[in-house]
Amino acid sequence: MTPNGHTDTITSLICWEDYLLSSSSDCTINVWVCTEEETLKVAYTHIEENAVLGLYGMIDTDAKPILFCLCKDNSVPTYSSCLYRFLERGRLFTRQEVRSFEIGPGGLFFTGDGTGLLNVWKWLEEPKVPSS
């Protein structure tokens, strides 16, 4: 099977639960599902402003899935993802394109960019607002 879903180079693939996510230089992220006919089809397409160089996923401190998108504009948008919509949670910025990304233990993640910098990041809990 060779499904079509992008118009430029595919830069990253990740499996997330029962879905396949693909990113491309065409500035899109596709969420693929398996059909009853056992083929893949695009169920949702998310569009970024710049080429997407890579995708990475982790679980935050509240056990919610977070998707990291390495973009050509030296940014890393982060999304809460329920796979049919991406809700932006924030954006990391680096001096040059992030070329390497790794998930660590305890909410840590690491990025390496084109300048040779290694950055260590920690996903913090969202502040709890007391109810009145």
pTM for the predicted model, two decimal places:
0.82
Q: How far apart are the first and last CA of the chain?
A: 55
The CATH number that domain 10-122 falls under is 2.130.10.10
Per-domain boundaries in the chain: 10-122
pLDDT in tens, 116-132: 999 998 877 654 555 55
Q: Kindly report, residue by residue over 40-86, the tens digit of the pLDDT.
A: 899 999 999 999 999 998 887 777 888 999 999 999 999 986 667 78
